[in-house]
Amino acid sequence: MKLTKNFSLEELVFSITALNNGWDNTPNPEVKATLKRLAVEVLQPIRDAWGGPIHVTSGYRCPRLNASVGGVKNSQHLLGQAADIQAIPMTSNHRLHALIKQMIADGRLKVGQCIWEYGSKTNPKWVHVSLPRVGKKNNQFVYYYS
């Protein structure tokens, strides 16, 4: 099911870990609607500004999947509010991160959190982006270096 021009529900739900373990990572209707918002309000604007394909490595996670991949208990992935994305090639992840930062600075994008996830100080392994959260600090930048 297509959510936007370049993002499908399937890619926001797919998980190799869930598949390998036989876990059903199918979201409920509320989560599906949230994933649609994530695609419309966050992912597609980034994709359009980027001008090329973006790989989603993790979107929605059922509780079992979230726990198994070491996700935090209040992860926005559990609600369909977050996606981990990579540039193609992955060595351009730092440019993707810089673009998101610029879009937020320009007021063209609003996120809950933008997290530089692992990799090195020069290139993240992936970038976590999420929908803004009601009553919480948004457009928050977090950096996790390994």
Residues lying near Zn ion in the complex (CB under 5 A)? 84, 128
Please state, as a whole number, how many other Cβ atoms lie within 10 Å of the Cβ of residue 35.
Answer: 28
| Closer residue to Zn ion in complex, CB, 51/70 | 70
| Closer residue to Zn ion in complex, CB, 9/127 | 127
| Closer residue to Zn ion in complex, CB, 73/106 | 73
Q: Which residue is nearest to Zn ion (CB)?
A: 128
Q: Is beta strand 82-87 parallel, antiparallel or unpaired with respect to 113-117?
A: unpaired
Shortest distance (Å) from residue 2 CB to Zn ion: 23
Shortest distance (Å) from residue 77 CB to Zn ion: 6
Q: Is beta strand 140-144 parallel, antiparallel or unpaired with respect to 126-130?
A: unpaired
| Closer residue to Zn ion in complex, CB, 106/136 | 136
Burial 49-66 (b: 16+ CB within 10 A, else e): ebeeebebbbbbbbeebb
What's the token pair of residue 120? 């090195």
- In a 10 Å sphere around its CB, with 0-12 CB exposed, 13-18 middle and 19+ buried, how is residue 37 labelled? middle
Shortest distance (Å) from residue 82 CB to Zn ion: 5
Shortest distance (Å) from residue 12 CB to Zn ion: 12
| Closer residue to Zn ion in complex, CB, 9/86 | 86
Shortest distance (Å) from residue 86 CB to Zn ion: 11
> Are the C-beta atoms of 117 and 48 separated by less than 8 Å?
no
